[in-house]
Structure 1
Amino acid sequence: MAKRNSDKIVLSYNDCLIRASDLALLQGPHWLNDVIIGFYFEHLDVKFNKNENKELYFISPELTQLMKMTDPSEYSVLLDPADMLESKCIFFPLNNCNSRDTAGGSHWSLLVYCKRDKTCYHFDSSKGYNNSIASKFAKNLMNFLLDKNEPSKKFLESDCPQQDNAYDCGIYVLCLTDIVTENAIKTGRVDGCDCSKAKNLVPTKRTELLHLINELKRKSSVTE
């Protein structure tokens, strides 16, 4: 408890609490945890969904993990399928953790469901690492959202740049989310994204996140 009390809260942002230990992950070559990824997804939700209708649906790492470990017959308890089907795209940060109740794992990848072509696209910066997890989850997800006998639903492994270290998978997820989001806003689709741009975005993403957190912290202190 004492250790947790000393880990001070840096920013409270909607449903996210960022602590000093979370912020430290952005200040060096560290693996990103669910708090930082969840914060960024929350930020994107605020940025792109200005009204009650979610054009783009950003699912938190915690909820993604819970869905991944839950029978799809129970998904309706967690999410409203009608709301999800109104969205152009739904974004899921996937982790290879095999526990329903705890954070962890060692690798992040991105799964995106596209309403227009009834397809789940999987982006993995360490190709093949999360393939079986993603394909199983995608099947469950599409069976939940669509008729089980829907002939056109698909799961595709998408080409994307590959990480050259053991810790940048979460950064790649965020950069690829930016790229897919931009394309989805313009076209309503996932295919056609220039994922090669992620390689150039990755080196500066940690600094960008630190600036974002500091700016939101500054704004919150002004309004208090």
Structure 2
Amino acid sequence: MDFCDDEDLLEMYGPLNLAEKLVVFVPLNDASSTSGGGSHWAMLAVVKVEETGDLGVFLLDSGSGSSMRAVANAYLARLKLLMRISGIVQVTEVRGYPKQGNMFDCGIFSLCGAEAVLEAYKTRGEEVCSNIKASSCFSSVEQNVLNQ
């Protein structure tokens, strides 16, 4: 998504109708080129509250000292186009998000975090944005990682 122009981006992702979605997940990798690579994965969660139109953009990052915020901001700029979001939107890094204890579980932490956000959205609806900020919905992430 980060390595193409706006026209190509809309052609590729436009049919997904992301502007109509209430929850969108974007896996993030710290690779700096299209040739692949990268050493860390995180997840960007975009959550819209249907009733109010409020929007939350959350970085789920299990890395310690990771620089994924810059990656998340770059992707958010592209997502704003696809989701027809105007105005200032900021990425909120979830404080207290569980940290991986090794160098290879970042992908599963990202997936389990996405699952936790969906569960929170299904059960708490419009309160989900404040709950994600408090990271209360992530208590199961570490246990889910261990069970994989």
When the two structures are superposed, what TM-score results if normalisation uses the length of structure 1?
Answer: 0.54
Aligned equivalents of 1:163 and 1:82: distance in 2?
Answer: 32
Identify unmatched segments of 5+ residues in structure 2: none
Aligned position for 2:48? 115
1:129-148 superposed matches below 5 A: 129-148=67-86
For the 8 Å contact 1:121–1:155, the answer to whether it is kept is: yes
Aligned position for 1:192? 131
- The amino acid that maps onto 2:118 is T
Aligned equivalents of 1:118 and 1:200: distance in 2?
Answer: 28
For the 8 Å contact 1:85–1:115, the answer to whether it is kept is: no
Count of paired positions: 136
Secondary structure at the residue paired with 2:17?
helix
User: Per-residue deviation at 1:81?
Assistant: 6.8
User: Per-residue deviation at 1:168?
Assistant: 0.6
Aligned position for 2:94? 158
User: Per-residue deviation at 1:132?
Assistant: 0.8
When the two structures are superposed, what TM-score results if normalisation uses the length of structure 2?
Answer: 0.79
Aligned position for 2:20? 86
Aligned equivalents of 1:72 and 1:157: distance in 2?
Answer: 26
Higher RCO structure (Cα 8 Å, ≥6 apart)? 2
Identify unmatched segments of 5+ residues in structure 1: 1-66, 206-224
- Larger CA Rg, structure 1 vs 2: 1
Whether 1:105 aligns to 2:44 is: no
Residue by residue, what CA displacement relative to the aligned partner does 1:91-139 show, whole Å, maximum 9, x if unpaired? 1111111222x44311000001112222321110014331111112112
Aligned position for 1:77? 11
Residue by residue, what CA displacement relative to the aligned partner does 1:123-159 show, whole Å, maximum 9, x if unpaired? 10014331111112112212442354x24x3321112
Residue by residue, what CA displacement relative to the aligned partner does 1:40-81 show, whole Å, maximum 9, x if unpaired? xxxxxxxxxxxxxxxxxxxxxxxxxxx022234432111127
- The amino acid that maps onto 1:137 is Y
Q: In structure 2, do the counterparts of structure 1 residues 77 and 106 end up closer, same or farther at CA, with 3 Å as the change threshold?
A: same
RMSD: 2.2
Secondary structure at the residue paired with 2:122?
helix
Sequence identity percentage: 26
